[in-house]
Amino acid sequence: MRLAKYLAQCGMGSRREACRLIEAGRITLNGHIARHTDPIRLGESLNCLDNIELDGAPITKTETLAYWILNKAVGTDCRLLEQDETSLVHLLPKAPRLYPVGRLDKDSRGLLLLTNDGELTHKLMHPSFAHSKTYHVHLNRPFTDDFVEQMANGVSYKDLQTLPCQVRRLSSDSFEIVLTQGLNRQIRRMAIALGYKVIDLQRVALMTLTLESLAEGAMRPLTPQEVAVLKAAVTI
């Protein structure tokens, strides 16, 4: 097994985050600075036979996988920075260690999946899997049907062209959009390119997960059925 994949399974975050730890030289393998290409040896019970450490602390076993959902409020920063009092890290339980699957901007709100399942995180985050995320968007003024069509067909900004997506009107100045891309501040920049400003952005669904009655700022573990349905949807 590759080192980054094993670190993800140990609850160190996604494989991308595990790669960052390796690149930063914070991971050692049998006393030497680890490299991305280093394989690791697993015993019959999937215990690691090699000595792996993060900043000198041993990584000894895979954590029990956990899956939570948070209804993030505006003002919460998804970066896990201990020194930032607005950081998501201050809302998370001490154990198990949880990491957000993707991010919501600080000025956005809504559904955020939290887990230590690095493999699931990889499948949900990697662009090649093209999984859906649904948002409700409120603009600064009413928009035309042409705006809906332009958003759905894709918008150009900063030398980028967004992919076609699903858009439907909710009111004179709000709409629902379903994206399979994850570009930085994508919806806000699409709206600006068409002459509008987003004043409220809420993620209401991620694949099969929805907020339902979860209060803003609250979080809860997923039910076993929710986890099973989500994993089944990811493997399709």
Q: What is the pLDDT of residues 173-221, one digit of tens each?
A: 999 999 998 888 999 999 999 999 999 999 999 999 999 999 999 999 9
- 70-86 per-position pLDDT tens digit: 999 999 999 888 899 99
pLDDT band per the 50, 70, 90 thresholds, residue 50: confident
Give CA–CA dist 88/80, Å, rounded: 6
Give CA–CA dist 201/109, Å, rounded: 6
Q: Is the pLDDT of residue 106 over 60?
A: yes
**Domains of the chain with bracketed CATH:** 3-58 (3.10.290.10), 67-127+208-235 (3.30.70.580), 132-206 (3.30.70.1560)
Q: Is the pLDDT of residue 144 over 70?
A: yes
Q: Is the pLDDT of residue 15 over 80?
A: no
Q: Token pair 């003002």 is at which residue?
A: 75
Q: Determine what percent of the chain is predicted with pLDDT higher than 70.
A: 94
Q: Is the pLDDT of residue 44 over 70?
A: no
Q: What order do you get walking across the sheet with 52-54 strand by strand?
A: 32-33, 27-29, 52-54, 57-58
Calculate ∠ Cα 138-141-169, nearest 5°: 50
Active site residues: 105
Q: State the pLDDT at residue 152.
A: 97
The per-residue pLDDT of the chain, averaged, comes to 89
Q: State the pLDDT at residue 85.
A: 93
Give CA–CA dist 33/26, Å, rounded: 8
pLDDT band per the 50, 70, 90 thresholds, residue 145: very high
With CA atoms as reference, report the closest residue to 128 among 184, 165, 186, 181: 181
Q: State the pLDDT at residue 16.
A: 78
